[in-house]
């Protein structure tokens, strides 16, 4: 995975809104506390899911019930947090496993 580390001065709320989630675009990274401040203050997003990747990074999904925005972050073992994807239309679903009796 390509990683681009941006200085804090380059990480603005407008940048988060403008990023399309494409496989060809390298993630944007910054210290975790700064990323979380932007998600909370600008987008009213809270953590909804968490997981550990095979490379020992922590994946987190943040979302807002107010505006439907969502963000996926990955915190690397070195402590940097990278923006992997952003979008709109977030909904919480509870679905049975495929093939499970209903």
For the chain, what are the domain ranges? 25-87
If DSSP codes are grouped into helix, strand and coil, which group holds residue 46? Answer: strand
- Say what the pTM is: 0.69
Residues whose CB falls within 8 Å of the CB of residue 36, separated by 6 or more in sequence, listed in order: none
Give residue-wise pLDDT tens across range 7-30. 222 333 333 334 444 444 445 899
Pick from 43, 54, 49: nearest CA to 77? 54
Give residue-wise pLDDT tens across range 29-76. 999 999 999 999 999 999 999 999 999 999 999 999 999 999 999 999
């Amino acid at each position: 995975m390509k990683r681009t580390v941006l200085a804090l001065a380059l990480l603005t709320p407008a940048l988060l809104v403008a990023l399309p989630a494409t496989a060809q675009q390298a993630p944007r990274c910054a210290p975790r506390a700064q990323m979380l401040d932007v998600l909370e203050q600008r987008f009213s997003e809270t953590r909804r899911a968490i997981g550990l990747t095979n490379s020992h990074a922590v994946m987190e999904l943040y979302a807002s019930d107010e505006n439907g925005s969502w963000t996926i972050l990955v915190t690397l073992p070195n402590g940097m947090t990278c923006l992997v994807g952003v979008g709109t239309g977030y909904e919480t679903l509870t679905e049975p496993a495929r093939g499970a009796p209903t």
